[in-house]
Structure 1
């Protein structure tokens, strides 16, 4: 089956006063119809830049897609004009931005913001668009939507604003929904409600979701596949169960060991990854995780590892997969277990 979205060898850079920041360096992944793909990694790994690049929303300048393909339903989005991209954004690919507090226009009622998006993509009248906006607010669980459609963002709580953002993103029935840290700044109860809502809406609409997050608990509950990103590259990708229970990259082990665990003594519940992320002004020639990896070899510092097919849909880029690499205890990093 043809994937709904195929990203091939994507490179994205930003020109700054200090030089060129190579934020994304050869990212490749695909998204199937109706599935949820989580892209995980610590801050600065390139997750949000990858998401924004997918819908050509990186500011240009200073940002630029230097190389690669973003193929959606047979069309390479990199080659489309800005006018052509207007027809894709919203109607074909929707996006929930990272901060619901600042993503909504504070000077406009939330209903008007949803109506504008509906009318732009569907070319229908104001009354019909307003009725659909009310229907969308009801769908995402906003109480009394007939009244709330005329209210301003400041009259909504953080969780309700995020629901409005989801309504806005889904109003034109997109085939793909990109959710960039959709639960940022929300308490854990509201986080659970928002993720449950997105899952319910996905089942009703068959929308595919790209979930950008660093919360592995959310990933375990909502995603089918995971792509682990570090230093602007994807180091491991596979089904959720394989990534959580049979991961093969030391960075993935480190992420999992950094999660709180109640089955361990308090002193061992969290094992942070030592060191700092690589400098993307001057990224390393080899594996980006080599400086922080307890299993690093000379080749790790000198050359980027090839992608190894672990199983039919599990891939990893790590020199430990080489037949000549020394044997290490899988899942062990920094004295913790992944």
Structure 2
């Protein structure tokens, strides 16, 4: 049985302008110790899916309309708020996009790590403090015995992100959700944070859900990839399948927009033309139909079924239908072996 299974998840936000259907029937699984990357453009539903797992959708205006989120056999959507409070931090940890707005500016970093330890593990403040020092050391913050008394504004951006990772991992959760963990960090610090996450995952055997739009990060860290567009998962597969044998035109477009370092000649980036669908009034057919160069009449009228390319590779595209025209597509990128 999978550690986490999302079944037909629907999440909407009710606004003055109407209902935004942010997530529309997402199905995903996560195995123990696995790193799953969820990729896609802004507004594709990645972060909303993660917030739904943690039951952090603000209500109002948000609402989880239907679906199941099974964690260790328990449906998280059926738990009371008190029961869910026990799951957050203890069994599922989360690193948010912006550590400066996620950390409490009025509390020292040490106290913020200790808070979860005291609550979930029922240990004394002195034991929690010692554990907090160990966590700061684990995530590579120098002089942790001194830094534990610092406030978030006294940390650099990279150190704040490391502190967020320490808070998320303090209680040894089974799942760590990393929502754009390298956003707003410079390239050198980004590489350090990803290397740190990889190292910590090996040490703790924690399953990781990595939400990102950076395909370089995906190639570096993940074993499996889910591609989201218009609130739906349009393709899932191993990293090798998504990078070398992608089957959905949207995945082709994402990969074609990446710069390639293995080419000697000058290369122009190829952005995907058009704009994402309006989720106030989402299309009844394939959400990518308006931007896809291979659109057929049926693409606008009906959402394609999920086709199984292999045991690990699934795609939702009408080009997989036996009567669809043949479209050849060459591998776009090279990825280094991990």
- State the TM bucket, normalised to the shorter chain: over 0.9
CA-to-aligned-CA distance 1:97-126 (integer Å, 9 cap, x gap) = 010121111111000111111111111111
> Could you say which residue in structure 1 is the equivalent of 2:5?
6
2:252 aligned with 1:227? no
CA–CA separation in structure 2 for the residues paired with 1:301 and 1:14: 24
CA–CA separation in structure 1 for the residues paired with 2:268 and 2:90: 44
CA–CA separation in structure 2 for the residues paired with 1:62 and 1:37: 29
1:311 counterpart SS class:
coil
Q: How does 1:155-194 map to 2 (within 5 A)?
A: 155-194=154-193
Off by >3 Å, runs of 4+ in structure 1: 263-269
> Could you say which residue in structure 1 is the equivalent of 2:135?
136
| CA RMSD between the two structures | 1.1
Normalising by structure 1, we get a TM-score of 0.97
> Could you say which residue in structure 1 is the equivalent of 2:281?
282
CA–CA separation in structure 2 for the residues paired with 1:136 and 1:265: 44
CA-to-aligned-CA distance 1:56-105 (integer Å, 9 cap, x gap) = 01101111110100000010001111111000000000000010121111
The unaligned stretches of length 5 or more in structure 2 are 334-338
Aligned residue pair count? 333
Q: How does 1:1-338 map to 2 (within 5 A)?
A: 2-264=1-263, 268-331=267-330, 337=332
2:116 counterpart SS class:
helix
Q: Residues 187 and 31 (structure 1 numbering): CA distance in 2 closer, same or farther, change over 3 Å? A: same
CA–CA separation in structure 2 for the residues paired with 1:331 and 1:213: 24
Q: How big is the shift at 1:331?
A: 4.7
Normalising by structure 2, we get a TM-score of 0.97
CA–CA separation in structure 2 for the residues paired with 1:199 and 1:269: 32
Q: How big is the shift at 1:330?
A: 2.0
CA–CA separation in structure 2 for the residues paired with 1:41 and 1:184: 15
- Answer whether contact 1:253 1:331 (CA < 8 A) is retained: no
The unaligned stretches of length 5 or more in structure 1 are none
Q: Residues 58 and 215 (structure 1 numbering): CA distance in 2 closer, same or farther, change over 3 Å? A: same
